[in-house]
Amino acid sequence: MTVTMHGSPAIGDFDGADLDMLIRKGFRPVPVSAVRKLTPEVIGIELTLTEAAELGSAPGAHLEVAVPLPDGPAIRHYSLLAGPADSLRVAVLRDYHGRGGSAWLHENLDSCTSLLVRGPRDTFGYEGSGPAYFVAGGIGITPLTAMIAAAVDARRDWHLLYVGRRLESMAFADALIEEYGPDRVTIHITEAAGRPDVVSAVEDWASAYDEPTTVYTCGPVSLMRALEIGFDDHSSITVISENFDDHNEVAAQVRSALPLGGTTSASQSCNSPTAPHATEATAMEADDDFVVELGDGSEIDVPPGCSIIDALKKAGVRTLSSCQKGTCGTCETVILDGRADHRDSVLSAEEHAAHETMMICVSRACGKRIALDL
């Protein structure tokens, strides 16, 4: 039976089959209570909590938002901002070089009464003890706002370095300074001062403490990599990052359990406790052909060099995906029978070993057949 919903372009613009699929996958309509222009390129969206929306979320959690684009549903991930307990708030940067999701939201939200969302889901992995240093680049500030609020509530020592090209493009700079003060918040404008030495900034601040410091960072890859490389072998500073894809539209969030002083990011593979990075693991393993058995008994051939998602698409089978890199979790699919060759960086080592679900955008089958709940 086809689900029909009216009253909002964000829902009514999906065709019946796509809407059925989204509802089956756990998306539900949540009312849009407010839309605000935070900067010329950033809008804030407030969603009203209803019985359909989950109460509570961990600091750094995100929502998946379904967007109706011409070639089918697009799933975009937006981190939750700090805010009142009776609403969910996100901020969306318009990416003029992206794939259309943020542009659609910027152009159509004024006529939307609700959005189809799933979550909140936490894959960042905020830990609530010890000194914390937050490093945000641009729109990467969004998940850190909730972490900072949690740090304040827990009376945790913390500091924020918020980096942006121009002050007028930094949606939360003034509010953060006003609420927490310049002793807690450092605003760095690259147009005036150049790129900051983020490693030295963290080291200087952490040197005042006799206990380990955790760095939470989100923003451009160059910013996060500088921190990850800078503290790769550090004995008392751990870096936890949230990586955005090349278009800054999909938050590819992942947290892996690493020894103190290690770093974690969306490139970390979790096939085993000592697994190499996903790109290295993939290069080492040959892509053999295999068969995917669907829930109705039909079979789809997956040739070498072709992902499960691409094979399904060619066969006319609808499914959801977003990052296509094994980093966001949108395409997570239940395994009914067989074992997966896990190549994602979302699931933990324990979840990989259990072979209960897999990310079908990058992972493959161990052997010639795998049955999936599709």
How much is the pLDDT for 51? 56
**pLDDT tens-digit readout, 249-259:** 333 332 222 22
In-domain check, residue 197: yes
In-domain check, residue 4: no
How much is the pLDDT for 327? 76
How much is the pLDDT for 317? 85
Quote the CA–CA distance of 246 and 248 in Å, as a whole number: 6
Mean residue pLDDT across the chain: 82
Asked whether the beta carbons of 100 and 48 are under 8 A apart, the reply is no
Which tokens in the block code for residue 37?
A: 């222009």
Looking at the structure, do residues 314 and 205 belong to the same domain, yes or no? no
- Percent pLDDT > 90 in the chain is 46
Looking at the structure, do residues 115 and 157 belong to the same domain, yes or no? no
In-domain check, residue 96: yes
Helix axes 141-153, 173-180, angle to 10 degrees: 10
- Considering 214, 230, 264, which residue would you say is the last residue of a domain? 264
Looking at the structure, do residues 117 and 136 belong to the same domain, yes or no? no
Quote the CA–CA distance of 125 and 60 in Å, as a whole number: 7
Helix axes 221-230, 198-206, angle to 10 degrees: 50
In-domain check, residue 3: no
Quote the CA–CA distance of 204 and 350 in Å, as a whole number: 37
How much is the pLDDT for 240? 93
Greatest pairwise CA separation for the chain in angstroms = 62
Single-letter code of the amino acid located at 220: P
Which tokens in the block code for residue 85?
A: 């307990």
**What percent helix, strand, coil does the chain show, rounded to 5?**
25, 30, 45
Quote the CA–CA distance of 73 and 322 in Å, as a whole number: 9
Asked whether the beta carbons of 302 and 314 are under 8 A apart, the reply is no
The arithmetic mean of pLDDT across residues 85-106, rounded, is 86
How much is the pLDDT for 220? 87
How much is the pLDDT for 371? 93
Higher pLDDT, 216 or 322: 216
Which H or E element spans position 160? strand 158-164
The arithmetic mean of pLDDT across residues 20-41, rounded, is 89
- ∠ CA 364-366-372, rounded to 5°: 60
The arithmetic mean of pLDDT across residues 97-123, rounded, is 86
In-domain check, residue 269: no
Looking at the structure, do residues 16 and 90 belong to the same domain, yes or no? yes
42-51, 255-264, 279-288, 356-365: range with lowest mean pLDDT = 255-264
Quote the CA–CA distance of 374 and 24 in Å, as a whole number: 11
Looking at the structure, do residues 240 and 287 belong to the same domain, yes or no? no
Q: What is the residue whose two structure tokens read 């009253």?
A: 7
Looking at the structure, do residues 142 and 253 belong to the same domain, yes or no? yes
pLDDT band at 323 (very low <50, low <70, confident <90, very high): confident
In-domain check, residue 271: no
With a cut of 80, say whether residue 279 has pLDDT above it.
Answer: no
Asked whether the beta carbons of 344 and 331 are under 8 A apart, the reply is no
In-domain check, residue 273: no
Q: Return the CATH number at 81.
A: 2.40.30.10
With a cut of 60, say whether residue 140 has pLDDT above it.
Answer: yes
Greatest mean pLDDT among 21-25, 164-168, 172-176, 276-280 lies in 172-176
How much is the pLDDT for 212? 95
pLDDT band at 177 (very low <50, low <70, confident <90, very high): very high
Looking at the structure, do residues 89 and 183 belong to the same domain, yes or no? no
With a cut of 70, say whether residue 53 has pLDDT above it.
Answer: no
- CA dist 216 → 222, 227, 228 (Å): 15, 10, 11
How much is the pLDDT for 271? 31
How much is the pLDDT for 129? 87
The arithmetic mean of pLDDT across residues 31-48, rounded, is 92
Higher pLDDT, 80 or 247: 80
Looking at the structure, do residues 89 and 201 belong to the same domain, yes or no? no
Looking at the structure, do residues 230 and 344 belong to the same domain, yes or no? no
Which tokens in the block code for residue 118?
A: 């799933």
With a cut of 60, say whether residue 2 has pLDDT above it.
Answer: no
- Considering 208, 230, 264, which residue would you say is the last residue of a domain? 264
How much is the pLDDT for 55? 52
With a cut of 80, say whether residue 291 has pLDDT above it.
Answer: yes
How much is the pLDDT for 10? 63
With a cut of 60, say whether residue 232 has pLDDT above it.
Answer: yes
Quote the CA–CA distance of 151 and 134 in Å, as a whole number: 11
**pLDDT tens-digit readout, 341-363:** 999 877 878 888 889 999 999 99
Give the total number of structural domains in the chain: 3
pLDDT band at 6 (very low <50, low <70, confident <90, very high): very low
With a cut of 80, say whether residue 161 has pLDDT above it.
Answer: yes
The arithmetic mean of pLDDT across residues 143-155, rounded, is 95
Higher pLDDT, 55 or 75: 75
Quote the CA–CA distance of 244 and 332 in Å, as a whole number: 18
Looking at the structure, do residues 101 and 206 belong to the same domain, yes or no? no
How much is the pLDDT for 80? 93
Looking at the structure, do residues 176 and 283 belong to the same domain, yes or no? no
In-domain check, residue 126: no
Q: Return the CATH number at 300.
A: 3.10.20.30
The arithmetic mean of pLDDT across residues 203-224, rounded, is 93
Looking at the structure, do residues 62 and 171 belong to the same domain, yes or no? no
Q: Return the CATH number at 174.
A: 3.40.50.80
Range of the domain at 250: 132-264
How much is the pLDDT for 228? 92
Phi and psi torsions of 109, nearest 5°: -65, -30
The arithmetic mean of pLDDT across residues 213-238, rounded, is 92
Tell how far CA 242 is from the center of its chain.
Answer: 7
- Considering 74, 92, 121, which residue would you say is the last residue of a domain? 121
- ∠ CA 152-157-160, rounded to 5°: 80
Phi and psi torsions of 367, nearest 5°: 105, -165
161-170, 205-214, 295-304, 340-349: range with lowest mean pLDDT = 340-349
